[in-house]
Amino acid sequence: MINVVLVYPEIPNNTGNIVRTCAVTGAKLHVIEPCGFSWEDKYLKRSGLDYWELSDVKRYPDMQTFLKQNFGDGACVTGNIADDLYKTAQNSGKQMMFASTKADHNHVDVKYDDDCYVFFGRETKGLDEEWLKVNYAQAVRIPMRKQARSLNLANSVAIIIYEYLRQHDFEGLSEEGKLSF
């Protein structure tokens, strides 16, 4: 399944919406702190509705802890996050993708591995450019008009998750609805 990695999210409503999207799709959500909100925030809870119990959300105090807990012996933790991400992907053999408006690869032109990790940056700044520079071959962009800065973070996450699911034939998801009458 796809692993969504939110790096330093700032807006509780976006994170709550992402929790809900991950819950209904089975995606795993990893949140790298610090966050720009409290986990007790009413807007976070409200936007996640009653989907919190269906979701698989893990929080980490920093990137090093995330790498150690998810990549074990394959994790490279030197303190240079850009290099650590690159080397961890190489050592572990797991696919890491970086969603950014600064990328030049279209998100639909990538073949997403079964157990891939897709990183999304904070709402106001995106991912650190040094991370992108070192990992640019794995950076993807959702097409949009040139005059626009970016899509909403929750929408971007949903677009990438559903592209992953499309490529994996919507495995495990119901594709049928039923009218109530």
Mean pLDDT of the chain: 92
Q: Whole-model pTM above 0.85?
A: yes
- pLDDT, tens only, 124-172: 999 999 999 999 999 999 999 989 888 999 999 999 999 999 999 999 8
CA atoms of 86 and 67, how far apart (whole Å): 11
Query: What average pLDDT does the segment 102-116 reach?
Result: 96
∠ CA 109-115-120, rounded to 5°: 65
Residue 69 has a pLDDT of 96
Of the candidates 62, 61, 101, 111, the residue with the CA atom closest to the CA atom of residue 84:
62
| Token code pair at residue 28 | 């795993």
Instruction: Say what the pLDDT of residue 128 is.
Output: 95
Name which residue leads in pLDDT, 44 or 142.
Answer: 142
- Domains in the chain: ranges and CATH: 3-167 (3.40.1280.10)
Q: According to the model, what pLDDT value does residue 52 have?
A: 73
Is residue 30 scored above 80 in pLDDT? yes
The pLDDT value recorded for residue 13 is 87
* pLDDT for residue 47 is more than 60: no
Share of the chain above pLDDT 90, in %: 77
Instruction: Give the chain as a DSSP string.
Output: --EEEEES---HHHHHHHHHHHHHHT-EEEEESP-SS-TT-HHHHHHHGGGGGG-EEEEESSHHHHHHHHHGGG---SS-HHHHHHHHHHHH---EEEE-TT--SBGGGS---TT-EEEE-BTTTBS-HHHHHHTGGGEEB----TT-----HHHHHHHHHHHHHHHTTTTT---------
pLDDT digits (tens, 9 = 90+) for 52-74: 778 899 999 999 999 999 999 89
